[in-house]
Amino acid sequence: MQFKNIFKFHGGVHPNGNKSLSTSLPIGRLPIPKKLVLPLRQHVGRVAKLKVKPGDQVLKGQIIAEADGNVSASIHAPTSGKVLKISEEILPHPSGLPDFCITIEPDFKDTWIEKKPISWKKLDRTELIEALSQSGIVGLGGAVFPTHMKLRINQSQPINTLVINAAECEPFITCDDMLMRERADEIIQGALIAQTILGAKECVVGIENNKIEACEALKKAAQKTAIEIKVVPTVYPSGDAKRLIYLLMGIEVPKEKRSMDLGIQVFNVATVAAIYRYLELGEPSISRVVTITGAVKAPQNYEALFGTPLSELIIAAGGSPNKTKKFIMGGPMMGFDLPSIHVPVTKAMNCVIESSPELFPAPKPVMPCIRCARCADACPVNLQPQELYWFSKSSQLEKAKDYNLFDCIECGCCTYVCPSNIPLVQFYRYAKSEIIAQEKSKEAANTARERNEFRLARIEREKKERAERHAQKALGANEKQADDEKKSTIAAAMERVKQNQQENIKT
Ligand code: SF4
Ligand code: SF4
């Protein structure tokens, strides 16, 4: 396919990007912190299995928790040192709930385990996927889905097109932009490797037109390859995989399908760069580029080891002058407030924004819906946000489901344009969680009912069996009695016959 045209998707918005705040300086490197806290759950899928215990010495790049099955990812030591403890710690998650983490005390020698680059050209696809399952690489665009799983293909539907997502459409976030400017070669090499593994005929990079330097760097790195760099308009949410596919190819991925079902696979730029580093350099996933921006004194991007306390990142960015202590992880459209600044950097942490009243003024009072339909015009999924709002608000959850609530990607476009300042996405999140909770409790009630029915059936069966046993016993006893009576009647008759005979002899 020649990627000649751009196909504009329905809806979308143009919020202020605020990207230049953090792109004036190159990617910085954070010093090794005094401790690293590594959650066992940093990816979609099963929690990684612990491979170390307190007191163990570990080397940089050593597996400290191993992928548990296919949909899971390993965790590696980001530097050398000693395992201090395995304990529950607060994570960068909207719930603010703690989860199990490995805490490492670095020895500051930063000693690598023996690096083993992989001659990937000599391996077949299965061997390569197996090798990558040890890499700890997950989707670094925010999805954190184990990457090796996305390289498995369905034999009945080969992958024709590999799309590299370089859109980075959320305001404030610039970690991919800076990575492309500085490490375009790694991205292009990683894209070629992914294309080979997938057996894709073509590869296209989709990049928004507000990233001029990054685009130039990619074009230069891709000069001698067949990879196409395609510039798309700056419109939020062009970085959503299905929206980017539409922009580049004009193909609508149906709601019940994945892009793979149509022969298209999508990887983020940072993910393919990580594939390159693992296979060519033997370096597993131990760090990522994080944007620290917003109200901090010196917004910048930093290469941060996983497990680094966020507070260290804030200090590196000149600290927090306004003392709001409100930090958002991700962008302002889809991100969430962090529960603390003492959470660690994880594989999902692409950006942290310090909030301030100037950047994020207090929400205006919520007014009634005026049925203006601006939300519907802005919705990139073609939903009816005002109807979803009404059904969610009035707890008509079945209706909300009928209006495709679960197709909502929570992009926030509807909230952004709503003149009545209604926090629409919050209502959808509430409705989704209510439906999920109700379905779970329905499932639990069904299980309980089935168990009770089974129990009653067992009691009934046992009762019946007991009754049968008693009946048989009783029958046995009656037969014996009858038998005894019969025997005694015969014996009496015999006795009488005997007596008669004796009397006859006497006479
Ligand atoms: S944009 Fe807001 S006010 Fe307008 S229809 Fe949608 S929910 Fe109602
Ligand atoms: S948040 Fe959901 S309903 Fe609102 S614009 Fe995005 S996809 Fe549409």
Backbone angles phi, psi at 484, to 5 degrees: -60, -45
In whole angstroms, what is the distance from residue 231 CA to residue 209 CA?
6
Q: Which atom of ligand 1 is nearest to the CA of 420?
A: 3
The verdict on the CB of residue 12 being under 6 Å from ligand 2 is: no
The residue whose CA is least distant from atom 7 of ligand 1 is: 386
In whole angstroms, what is the distance from residue 67 CA to residue 373 CA?
46
The residue whose CA is least distant from atom 5 of ligand 2 is: 379
Answer positive or negative: Cα dihedral of 272, 21, 364, 418: negative
Percent helix, percent strand, percent coil in the chain, to nearest 5: 40, 20, 45
The residue whose CA is least distant from atom 8 of ligand 1 is: 369
The residue whose CA is least distant from atom 3 of ligand 2 is: 385
> Cα of 412 to ligand 2 centre, how many Å?
6
**Which of 403, 420, 424 is the best mutation target for the ligand 1 pocket, counting ligand atoms within 8 Å of the beta carbon and taking the most?**
420
Residue 434's contacts (CB-CB under 8 Å, 6 or more residues apart) are 395, 397
The verdict on the CB of residue 371 being under 6 Å from ligand 1 is: yes
> Cα of 372 to ligand 1 centre, how many Å?
5
The verdict on the CB of residue 389 being under 6 Å from ligand 1 is: yes
Q: Which ligand approaches the C-alpha of residue 413 most closely? A: 2
Q: Which two tokens stand for residue 170?
A: 């959320």
Q: DSSP assignment, residue 362?
A: P
Backbone angles phi, psi at 496, to 5 degrees: -65, -45
The verdict on the CB of residue 409 being under 6 Å from ligand 2 is: yes
Residues found in the chain: 507
Residue numbers in the chain where pLDDT is lower than 70 = 1-2, 323-324, 504-507
The verdict on the CB of residue 385 being under 6 Å from ligand 2 is: yes
The verdict on the CB of residue 369 being under 6 Å from ligand 1 is: yes
What pLDDT is recorded for position 482?
Answer: 73
Helix (H) or strand (E) holding 452: helix 424-506
In whole angstroms, what is the distance from residue 92 CA to residue 77 CA?
19
What pLDDT is recorded for position 324?
Answer: 67
What pLDDT is recorded for position 507?
Answer: 52
Q: Which two tokens stand for residue 40?
A: 């066992």
Beta bridge partners of 309: 344
Q: Which ligand approaches the C-alpha of residue 419 most closely? A: 1
Query: Quick check: helix, strand or coil at residue 494?
Result: helix
The verdict on the CB of residue 412 being under 6 Å from ligand 2 is: yes
- CATH 3.40.50.11540: which residues of the chain? 20-352
DSSP H helical segments within 183-302, as ranges?
Answer: 184-198, 212-221, 241-249, 269-281
> Cα of 303 to ligand 2 centre, how many Å?
32
In whole angstroms, what is the distance from residue 370 CA to residue 349 CA?
37
In whole angstroms, what is the distance from residue 71 CA to residue 128 CA?
16
Q: Which atom of ligand 2 is nearest to the CA of 388?
A: 3
Q: Which two tokens stand for residue 202?
A: 């073509």
The verdict on the CB of residue 376 being under 6 Å from ligand 2 is: no
The verdict on the CB of residue 497 being under 6 Å from ligand 1 is: no
DSSP H helical segments within 326-423, as ranges?
Answer: 374-378, 385-393, 397-402, 413-417
Domain 20-352 CATH superfamily: NADH-ubiquinone oxidoreductase 51kDa subunit (3.40.50.11540)
Exposure b/e, 248-263, CB count within 10 A at least 16 = b: bbeeebeeeeebbebb
> Cα of 398 to ligand 2 centre, how many Å?
18
Q: Which ligand approaches the C-alpha of residue 378 most closely? A: 2
Q: DSSP assignment, residue 317?
A: T
The residue whose CA is least distant from atom 8 of ligand 2 is: 379
The verdict on the CB of residue 420 being under 6 Å from ligand 1 is: yes
**Which of 370, 387, 424 is the best mutation target for the ligand 1 pocket, counting ligand atoms within 8 Å of the beta carbon and taking the most?**
370
Q: What is the 3-state secondary structure (H, E, C) of 81-111?
A: EEEEEEEEEECCCCCCCEEEEEEEEECCCCC
- The pTM for the full model equals 0.86
> Cα of 13 to ligand 2 centre, how many Å?
11
In whole angstroms, what is the distance from residue 259 CA to residue 354 CA?
35
In whole angstroms, what is the distance from residue 358 CA to residue 16 CA?
13
Give yes or no for a contact between 263 and 283, defined as CB atoms under 8 angstroms apart.
no
> Cα of 233 to ligand 1 centre, how many Å?
26
15: left (phi over 0), alpha (psi -120 to 50) or beta: beta
DSSP 401-437: HHTTGGG-----HHHHH-TT---HHHHHHHHHHHHHH
Cα-based distances in Å from 82 to 79, 106, 432? 10, 6, 43
What pLDDT is recorded for position 442?
Answer: 84
> Cα of 95 to ligand 1 centre, how many Å?
28
